[in-house]
Chain A
Amino acid sequence: MTQHPVNPAPRELLKLVVVGHVDHGKSTLVGRLLYDTDALPEGKLEELQAVSSKRGMELEWSFVLDSFQAERDQAVTIDTTQIRFKTDKRDYVIIDAPGHREFLKNMVSGAAEADAAILVIDAAEGVREQSRRHGYLLHLLGVKQVAVAVNKMDLVDHDQGRFAAVAQEVTDYLAGIGVEPAAILPISARAGANVAEPSPELSWFQGPSLLQMLDRFHSVTRPSLQPLRLPIQDVYHFDQRRILVGRVESGVLRAGDTVLFSPSNKTARVRSLEAWNADPPLEAHAGQSVGLTLEEQLFLERGEVLSHEERPPQLTNVFKATLFWLGHKPLEPGVKLTAKLGTARYAVEVVAIEQTVDTDSLERRRGEAVQRNGIGEAVLRSRALMAVDEAQALPNSGRFVLLDDLDLVGGGLISMEGYPDQRSVMTVRTSNLFSVEHSVSREERWARSGHKGGVIWLTGLSGAGKSTLAMALERLLFERGYQVYVLDGDNVRRGLNANLGFSPDDRAENIRRVGEAAALFADAGALCITAFISPYQSDRDRARAATERLVPGGFHEIYVAADLATCEERDPKGLYKKARAGEITDFTGISSPYEAPRDPDFVVDTGELSIEQGVERLLEFCRSRIAFDPPKRG
């Protein structure tokens, strides 16, 4: 006679990682927790006893997790593992992480998945190097809920004073990275004291047991309320349908939505969401793997990010990142890697290492390189335009991993602070123009000017001497019979760009217009000198492209090199002082980045040369580059 049990619905699941310094008792805690909650399968305890005594040890709870022979023989966790247990409230996946610094990549692999963490600290040893590093990494990996277990209280005679001292030490450290622990509790993992049950030796402690603490963590849900991001994994055409597939990382997608693809900047309407063996869904939420078809037949590939037209990702080929580095060779400027961001892959190069973080002291230092297992802030550039988000706002699409050849060697969080969104400048709005041939040829114009048209593009920090050089050069060239004109902030901002301010986007647009105007001067047969900080390589590259379209070979990028210290000392307009005082925001070199030209056509170092010397060299350069010998007619 069969009964028909009605199975209760699946329960909520929380993923919990256990981190901390080597040997502080992480695996022991997990093993003990499983034992205390009756989660060990039948026969496991006997097996543990056998394999422990085989090694001449008392019962080693850590062997529940440390399943490799090498781990048991050397009494160290090598790789992360996951194991289940349940309380009355919900189910748990416990992720045991190794504490040895050699295995940091395994710790990261385990911890990155977690909703919450327990940081285990040996009461006798106190906060150690990996306790701090793990604490810091949790923060970077986005694990926001942390409880601290001060373990091995038996080794310090369950002393309340010692517990208080360790608790203070860890609270101070975590405060330094903006983390407030959900609880700090004394335990003795091996004996099971205050793990599942309170213990008489720790009767002075009023707080929860570890098990009670776990049930206080909040479960984490995927962000449906945030802007839509769906990185395209693939495009299938198994039948007459062309199905784009991917997982919604944030937001909600509905059939009928108009969507934007980045970085290609194409738009289309979603015709349908597709599913097999089910009715086609009408909407898809964060976390769901979906398929969709479009009204328009667009050419799209893996790596594009689908969003709505409102609040799309930013486009850029340079960004700043806080990253952790697992590679063997140091991460330094010039290093070339592959960045994987969502489903996209980009070839990137390290432009600069701005800071390194000492996870022991939390000091940030100017640094040239991030060492193995270190943390730092770097500027990265990619040749191709990337679709990115601020990690702060959208964690899933604001983070990336780095590949060195075949190996994953790091991860980072993107910050676009100080960098313009290039979407606003890439859109060609004037699409219905027809090009009309001029009736005067380029050569005719050059013959009349006596030289070729071109652009002398000066770039450098504020105070490097761009305007002074530009004006002096203009004078000298003019006197020698050249058609020459200077564009600088004064004449451009007053009219052509009067509607622009100083936000990153407006600055990018300012430079775009200067680039286009200069290109027209060049096409007209004149030499146009521009004097703008133009801090971003991408903006200068675009200006170059504008000129080259009309006057091939006509663009000359001149780096007016003078280092920040020199410029700041000169400070002709007192701007640096104001920037330092915080009165001016986004000031290049201080609160916003300057990217020196990668491959300048000419460098004038005004730190070393006088203005006269500098102008003279520039004059020579110009004469050689724009010399024009009219073809001899027979």
Chain B
Amino acid sequence: MDRLDHLESQSIFILREAYARVEPLSMLWSLGKDSNVMIWLARKAFFGRVPFPAVLLDTGNELDEVYAFRDEYVESWGLSYINADCPALEETDPSLPLNSRHAARKTLGLKRIIADQGFRGIFLGIRRDEQAVRGKERVFSPRDESGTWDYKDQPAEFWDQYKTEIPPGAHLRIHPLLAWTEVDIWRYIQREGIPVVPLYFARDGWRYRSLGEKDITRPIRSDAATIEEIIAELETTRQPERAGRTMDHDSEDAFERLRASGYM
């Protein structure tokens, strides 16, 4: 087994553990490369079907290509799909920096859909290598009723024994891709032929490395127009993946504060 086989097997194991022990479940589908890989892994784990809804936290502000991709693949992958509308900017915590407030709309949208649907477990396609605070995450990460991440007292997690028991009202964030890197994701997309939003591929010297909403995500300078070229670019770049995500860079603790209060 090579590295991708290992990662795939481990992620499938995680998906199946969650499915066996946590109910009801859903999967956040941001339509980015990671969440498409996650859907793909779910289809492998459950033999072609995704036995829980895919949820888009919709700010109404996603790029047009993203919405087009959604419409196509909800259909062709036979997904049960929930469009979760995010509250307006005015409803977010005004003490946060503006970019964080954009992100906080998603946090609020997530809280609302969890409360509405009573989800006990949510799959999210975050990875440790994206961001230092995410580097500290568990695979099964409990959140209390208010969605707060008690990151100073996380549960022990070892020998593939995950935290699946939580008090009433709480929920689990389940992270099947935590151990993957950005290059792993692209290699897997390549190997499996997983479709992705075309914005990832360079046009006129620009491409999106990470997809967020219109106002708070910027493309990077790049000529990588194929998966092979993206992989080659990533093998050598020293630019961080989320450099184009403005909300990470407001202040030293911007991302920690976002995550502590329930961001992905």
Task: State the A residues within 8 Å of B (CB).
Answer: 2-7, 9-13, 38, 40-44, 50-51, 54, 64-65, 67-70, 78-84, 93, 105-106, 108-109, 112-113, 141, 222, 233-234, 236, 238-239, 241, 243, 245-247, 274-277, 285, 287-289, 291, 302, 326, 340, 343, 399, 401, 403, 405-409, 411
Most buried by B among A78, A246, A285: A78
Contact B43 A5 (CB under 8 A): no
Task: State the B residues within 8 Å of A (CB).
Answer: 1-6, 8-10, 12-13, 16-17, 19-20, 43-49, 51, 128-129, 132-133, 135-136, 138, 151-152, 154-159, 161, 163, 165-167, 179, 181, 184, 187, 190, 192, 225-226, 228-229, 231-232, 235, 238-240, 243, 252-253, 256
Whole-angstrom distance from the CB of A64 to the nearest CB of chain B?
8
Alpha-carbon gap, A621 to B129, bound state (A): 71
Alpha-carbon gap, A308 to B44, bound state (A): 26
Given contacts A67-B135, A285-B1, A288-B5, contact A4 B228 (CB under 8 A): yes
Contact B133 A42 (CB under 8 A): no
Q: Can you give 14 contacting A-B residue pairs, CB < 8 Å?
A: A5-B231, A51-B252, A67-B132, A67-B133, A108-B158, A109-B156, A113-B158, A234-B20, A238-B48, A243-B47, A285-B1, A288-B9, A289-B9, A406-B165
Contact B156 A289 (CB under 8 A): no
Given contacts A42-B239, A277-B43, A406-B166, contact A80 B16 (CB under 8 A): no
* New A-B contacts (17) at CB < 8 Å, excluding given A93-B179, A302-B20: A5-B231, A7-B232, A11-B3, A79-B152, A82-B179, A106-B154, A108-B156, A113-B158, A233-B17, A238-B47, A287-B1, A287-B9, A289-B8, A289-B10, A289-B16, A401-B158, A406-B163
Whole-angstrom distance from the CB of B129 to the nearest CB of chain A?
6
Contact B16 A234 (CB under 8 A): yes
- Report which of A3, A68, A112, A288 forms a contact with B133, defined as CB distance below 8 A: A68
Across the two chains, which residue of chain A brings its CB closest to B132? A67
Alpha-carbon gap, A141 to B159, bound state (A): 9
Alpha-carbon gap, A276 to B165, bound state (A): 30
Whole-angstrom distance from the CB of B1 to the nearest CB of chain A?
6
Most buried by B among A68, A70, A243, A403: A68
Whole-angstrom distance from the CB of B57 to the nearest CB of chain A?
24
- In the complex, chain A residues whose CB is within 8 Å of the CB of B1: 222, 285, 287-288
Alpha-carbon gap, A343 to B161, bound state (A): 8
Alpha-carbon gap, A68 to B229, bound state (A): 35
Contact A233 B133 (CB under 8 A): no
Contact B12 A289 (CB under 8 A): yes
Whole-angstrom distance from the CB of A518 to the nearest CB of chain B?
42
Across the two chains, which residue of chain A brings its CB closest to B184? A10
Whole-angstrom distance from the CB of B175 to the nearest CB of chain A?
12
Contact B158 A141 (CB under 8 A): yes
Contact B135 A83 (CB under 8 A): yes
Whole-angstrom distance from the CB of A627 to the nearest CB of chain B?
51
Whole-angstrom distance from the CB of B17 to the nearest CB of chain A?
7
Alpha-carbon gap, A112 to B156, bound state (A): 11
Contact A109 B157 (CB under 8 A): yes
- In the complex, chain B residues whose CB is within 8 Å of the CB of A141: 158
- In the complex, chain A residues whose CB is within 8 Å of the CB of B228: 4-7
- In the complex, chain B residues whose CB is within 8 Å of the CB of A239: 47
Alpha-carbon gap, A421 to B181, bound state (A): 45
- In the complex, chain A residues whose CB is within 8 Å of the CB of B47: 236, 238-239, 241, 243, 274-276, 291
Alpha-carbon gap, A83 to B163, bound state (A): 23
- In the complex, chain B residues whose CB is within 8 Å of the CB of A291: 47
- In the complex, chain A residues whose CB is within 8 Å of the CB of B135: 65, 67, 81-83
- In the complex, chain A residues whose CB is within 8 Å of the CB of B229: 2-3, 5
Given contacts A234-B16, A411-B158, contact A277 B44 (CB under 8 A): yes
- In the complex, chain A residues whose CB is within 8 Å of the CB of B166: 406
Given contacts A67-B133, A81-B136, A406-B167, contact A276 B252 (CB under 8 A): no
Across the two chains, which residue of chain A brings its CB closest to B229? A5
- In the complex, chain A residues whose CB is within 8 Å of the CB of B3: 10-13
- Report which of A69, A233, A288 forms a contact with B252, defined as CB distance below 8 A: A69
Whole-angstrom distance from the CB of B9 to the nearest CB of chain A?
4
Contact B240 A407 (CB under 8 A): no
Across the two chains, which residue of chain A brings its CB closest to B186? A7
Whole-angstrom distance from the CB of B109 to the nearest CB of chain A?
26
- In the complex, chain A residues whose CB is within 8 Å of the CB of B46: 236, 238, 276
Given contacts A79-B151, A243-B47, contact A411 B159 (CB under 8 A): yes
Given contacts A10-B2, A81-B132, contact A43 B240 (CB under 8 A): yes
Across the two chains, which residue of chain B brings its CB closest to A38? B238
Given contacts A68-B133, A276-B43, A401-B159, contact A4 B226 (CB under 8 A): yes
Across the two chains, which residue of chain B brings its CB closest to A47? B252
- In the complex, chain B residues whose CB is within 8 Å of the CB of A276: 43-44, 46-48
Contact A67 B232 (CB under 8 A): no
Contact B16 A5 (CB under 8 A): no
Whole-angstrom distance from the CB of B118 to the nearest CB of chain A?
19
Contact A10 B156 (CB under 8 A): no
Alpha-carbon gap, A65 to B6, bound state (A): 25
- In the complex, chain A residues whose CB is within 8 Å of the CB of B226: 2, 4
Whole-angstrom distance from the CB of B245 to the nearest CB of chain A?
13
Alpha-carbon gap, A405 to B155, bound state (A): 13
Given contacts A233-B16, A234-B16, contact A106 B151 (CB under 8 A): no
Whole-angstrom distance from the CB of A62 to the nearest CB of chain B?
12
Alpha-carbon gap, A9 to B45, bound state (A): 25
Whole-angstrom distance from the CB of B95 to the nearest CB of chain A?
16
- In the complex, chain A residues whose CB is within 8 Å of the CB of B167: 406
Contact B136 A67 (CB under 8 A): yes
Contact B128 A82 (CB under 8 A): yes
- Report which of A4, A7, A238, A302 forms a contact with B187, defined as CB distance below 8 A: A7
Contact A106 B240 (CB under 8 A): no
Alpha-carbon gap, A64 to B225, bound state (A): 32
Contact A80 B165 (CB under 8 A): no
Alpha-carbon gap, A51 to B3, bound state (A): 35
- In the complex, chain A residues whose CB is within 8 Å of the CB of B17: 233, 343
- In the complex, chain A residues whose CB is within 8 Å of the CB of B243: 43
Contact A84 B129 (CB under 8 A): yes
- In the complex, chain B residues whose CB is within 8 Å of the CB of A238: 46-49, 51
Alpha-carbon gap, A69 to B46, bound state (A): 40
- In the complex, chain A residues whose CB is within 8 Å of the CB of B235: 7
- In the complex, chain B residues whose CB is within 8 Å of the CB of A289: 8-10, 12-13, 16, 45
- In the complex, chain A residues whose CB is within 8 Å of the CB of B184: 10
Contact B253 A80 (CB under 8 A): no
Alpha-carbon gap, A449 to B35, bound state (A): 78
- In the complex, chain B residues whose CB is within 8 Å of the CB of A78: 152
